[in-house]
Structure 1
Amino acid sequence: MRRLFIPAILLFLCIGHASAGIFDSIQKGFDMMSTTSDATQKAARPISDEEEYYLGRAVAARILQTYPLMKEGKLTEYVNTVGTVLALHSEKPYTYGGYHFAILDSDEMNAFACPGGTIFITKGMLMSASTEDELAAILAHEIAHISHRDGISSIKKSRWTEATAIIGSKAAQNYGPQQLSQLTGIFEGSVDDIVKTLVVRGYGKTQEYDADKAALIYLSGSGYNPEALKDVLERMVSSGKGSEGGIMKTHPGTTDRIDNIRADIPRTSADPGPLGKRTGRFTALLH
């Protein structure tokens, strides 16, 4: 398992040397600092978009070790089209590696937003949507987690501080086995932090509420009915689906979320014009 992370670490290090002088500026900062505590403070900078992308790819790879990918070309293309339109109406319409949407071949009802723009939706979750608007609502919520960098916030601050301290130090000019081993461990730990949040612990209530609120805006801006988010959650609660795990486990507080969504739904309604087209293509592909 550890060897799988080494290529990602090497890419991670290449970013450090190539990304707009970020690490050069860190190096200069270290040269001017006289104490270890000052150096650590300087090292604790935000994770860049490039670094987020490579972390997200590693997270996606880890998820795919548990959930097989569903290889349905037309359906995957359709989900990508819906998701891309929604992403264009988010606070972060473009990411370093772009948005990518894929379907996991699992009956579990869940969806995962990997840092940097990869979003997985399970077959079970996809089939739970009764309209394209509801599918859009599910994707919009996950896009919000990426826009808000909620996955990245799962990484323990101490890990990233240590990583940037190693990369920004003079020793980083000649990476040896010790530095590579340290960075590999930090990278693995960072990926573990994110995967545990996505698959096991779930996000905090504030993150969920904020993602719901943002999703309503994305839906409205894209011409979808924002009430679809409330509808899909209400049906999941009433049917009891996912109560043993899945999205009910990793997206907690569903009843409270529904109440908040009701209060936050924009007054503007969806454009009824394209509704027939949306219904037609959704039905053709999913029912």
Structure 2
Amino acid sequence: MKLLSFEHQGRECFGLLRGATDIVDLTGLGYDSLRAAIAAQALHELARRAENLPAALRLADVKLRPPIPVPGKIICVGVNYGNRNEEYKDGSVAPSYPSVFPRFPASFVGHGQAVLRPPESAQLDYEGEIALVIGRRGRRIAAADAWSHIAGLTCANEGTVRDWVRHGKFNVTQGKNFESSGSMGPWMVTADAFDPAAPMTITTRVNGEQRQHDTTAHLMFAFDELIRYISIWTALEPGDVILTGTPVGAGVRFTPPRFLEPGDLVEVDVSGIGTLSNPVADEPVATVRGTPHAQ
């Protein structure tokens, strides 16, 4: 089942994708957002009700938002594919724990919307990832129970402003949180559509050229272990999102680096989910009293 969040005629909505292009609007059937429906454990109830509703909207009619537009938490995992660990100085030593950092909701846009390069840097990079949407609250979740806490999965481009991740000695938060620098979508596919034991494939293309390609068989910390570890120190709530890491092939690793430029098109394709596609544009900026502000 594919569920999405979108804007239509000035309203924030969510719905079910029927076929390739048709949307059944589920807003107003007792829940005002996909996050609220997940928290109420109401997804399958809504799917049953949707069987009797018309698909009155088309994808072309709406502006897609990230599947969960305003998660309570977005937790990102760094350097999680085995061959990517080798890119680092101590890459011969497997890490004992995942590397994690936060992102904020405003740093993501939906499918089809422009990912923005800020005026402060020419080093906007792409990172194709698989994102997990949490479905049930949990703290200290056992790995064996982790899949039952996943509502669904989606694609992500964890866009990174590379020079700004090096501003701090101990963190990368600045370079990971420029507004509209990343994307998620186009929809969330419910967890029951996947075999937890089957590897998933992820591919990132820039202007049609394949830059990243790998499978989750190469994750150093699998989905269940990430949920187990993260839930030790923070309760995972319905609608929280975990980005699970990116394969080798980010633009910064080329010689010379191949950063994103306005006019580029980034596509992240994940087996079983679909393709997240976003153009790249420069962030429109005006100067007010010497301080840049997005317009």
What is the TM-score of this pair, normalised by structure 1? 0.29
User: Which structure has the larger Rg?
Assistant: 1
What TM-score do the two structures reach when normalised by structure 2? 0.28
Higher helix share: 1
Higher strand content, 1 or 2:
2
Higher relative contact order (CA 8 A, sep 6+): 2
